[in-house]
Amino acid sequence: MDDSTLEYQVLDAVHKADGCVTQRDISARVCRSLSSVNFALRLLAVKGYIKVLRANPRRLRYHITPSGVIQKSLLAYNFVKGQSALYEQVRRDFLGKIRGLKAEGVKTTSFYGWTPFTEPAILQVIYDGIQPKTIYVESVEIDGPWNGIPFELIEAYRPDSDVLVLMEPLPEGWDEKIETKKVVCYPVG
């Protein structure tokens, strides 16, 4: 089976249900066609990851085998490992853009958006001797300033720095309202 996501989802559904699940139930849980789930179950049974028992002439019961539990764990591990590598590559590329600001003579920055990349970006500019002035957000969900940097609503935007670092896309219509020497675009998108 080439679709490791479907393989994981089917194994997970069978594991959680412990024999009390039908193909139709699995199909609904994983949002895949009944034929896809049927094919996946047959293949997983051939591989020895699922054991199929006949509950009655019209109904089959599915149980995950010990090797199925191991396979499910391996699939989850490989997914997380792949996502971690992707995250690290995006983070590295984006921080490379941020590191270039010092060479351009930038003295102050502001940020728009709070994402998993915002904190490393702020720490990088601080490390490079650039002063972060404001973190603009659409709604203040984080209490108080972050490390002394105040949070302000994007509606209160003012050109208070050399560069605005976009951690996420600006709200609709804000592109023309931004007045800085330079805008560094967000890492994903």
If the chain, 189 residues long, is cut into consecutive pieces of 10 residues, what is the mean pLDDT of each piece? Answer: 84 86 87 91 93 77 91 92 88 84 88 86 90 86 70 84 85 73 66
Is-above-0.75 flag for pTM? Answer: no
> What's the pLDDT at 59?
76
> What's the pLDDT at 130?
92
> What's the pLDDT at 1?
53
> What's the pLDDT at 33?
92
Write the DSSP string, the chain: ---HHHHHHHHHHHHHHTT---HHHHHHHHT--HHHHHHHHHHHHHHTSEEEEEEETTEEEEEE-HHHHHHHHHHHHHHHHHHHHHHHHHHHHHHHHHHHHHHTT--EEEEE---TTHHHHHHHHHHTTPEEEEEEESS--S-S-BTTBPEEEGGG----SSEEEESSPPPTT-GGG--SSEEEPPS--
> What's the pLDDT at 75?
93
> What's the pLDDT at 8?
92
Q: Do domains 4-64 and 87-184 have the same CATH topology?
A: no
CATH architecture of 4-64: Orthogonal Bundle (1.10)
> What's the pLDDT at 2?
65
Question: Is the CATH number 3.40.50.720 carried by domain 87-184?
Answer: yes
Residue extents of the structural domains in the chain: 4-64, 87-184
